[in-house]
Structure 1
Amino acid sequence: MKETCFEWAIQIAESWDKLCDIINRSLTAMTNLLHSLDLAISPHIVGNYIAEEMVPNSVFSLISSYSTRISNLAIELMQFIDKFRDSHLKNIEYIIKWCDEEYTSINSRNINKDINANIIRVQALYTTNQLCLIIKSQHKIISDILNSAINKVDLYILYKSTKKFGVIQTHIEHFHQLRNFKCNNAFKERQFLTSYCTK
């Protein structure tokens, strides 16, 4: 009989896989908007206006439109992220703890009775742990990226206009991450666990 934690991990991974599709599509849209925003605030377009503290209404409206759309997309995506967190993160923590305890108990027993079964079980525990750590890590990264996209677009605009990092470096790095982030859906780990649980 297979433990419930393995089944939980598979269910969580299936939910995460669906969320990854949403995340990747949303980040692609946000990246396109960021590219358009970069063009609108590039130094050769607004550099002189920034120095004079007079941005024409047309340029200001364009910048405002792109930044609002980026923030709104991030808010919408964050709702999915928060829902996943509320549904699954406590279970992920529980599964990680269970894997550690189960691995310790295997080590303390006499494994000579069925070496092959124990090796496969250890692989399943390791894979389950890896799956949970991947999802937990990815969740943290995307949450940080979205928080910056929601709350710090103005700092991004300031940086792109002046090229000064100051205290906003972390948030600027989040915008660079947004462009390059590809959500890991832990497919290999989920595939292994599914195979293990159906044997």
Structure 2
Amino acid sequence: MQNYNDLLRENLEWVEKKLDLDKDYFKNLSKSQKPPFLYIGCSDSRMPIDTFTQSEPGSFFIHRNIANQIFSNDMNFLATLEYAVEQLEVEHIIVSGHYECGGIKTAHEKCTNSSIISSWLMPIKKIEVEHKEELKALATKDERIDRLTELNVLEQLKHIFELSIIRNRIATGKYPKIHGWILDIRNGKIKEMEIPFKDWKSKGIIPKEYEA
């Protein structure tokens, strides 16, 4: 495990390696950003999306919080989304959860009204209640938590599609494509969630003009 001084030392080593490969690396990096992806993920320290995708700095504009939640009154998130869509004109929005998520496990096992964390995770408990029968039919606790993780990503995708920032962009015909991911920390692979576009369009969750 790294200590604080390790971070500073290894930063200098990384800088030297980058400059050895390209003397203008940081000069070019500092000019501007034009990331193609907005990544909305979990704060978990084991989930560095650039590592999972072997991406260089500048690929992802990132918003992270515990259990990758999306709230219509979260100004931090809304400002990030608006900037990504309106100013950076990202081409894709990725909402990503991950298996073995501490937030999902906490919501499942001991979510109460007694703390800030519990209040933050209460919407996940609501998802669990709404899908009680589906989850109950699964054989093991691990399977139920994995499925709750997936259901949470689908719920956050609904929230994205319902936001006026996104609906207004879709109305213009120039909008980012929206995706749901699960990062499987147990094998390192990314699982792309299947979004029920036809069903959600029929319910008005996704505007009819949106094409995946």
TM-score (norm 1): 0.24
Higher helix share: 1
Which protein has greater RCO, CA pairs closer than 8 Å, 6+ apart? Answer: 1
TM-score (norm 2): 0.23
Larger radius of gyration: 1
Higher strand share: 2
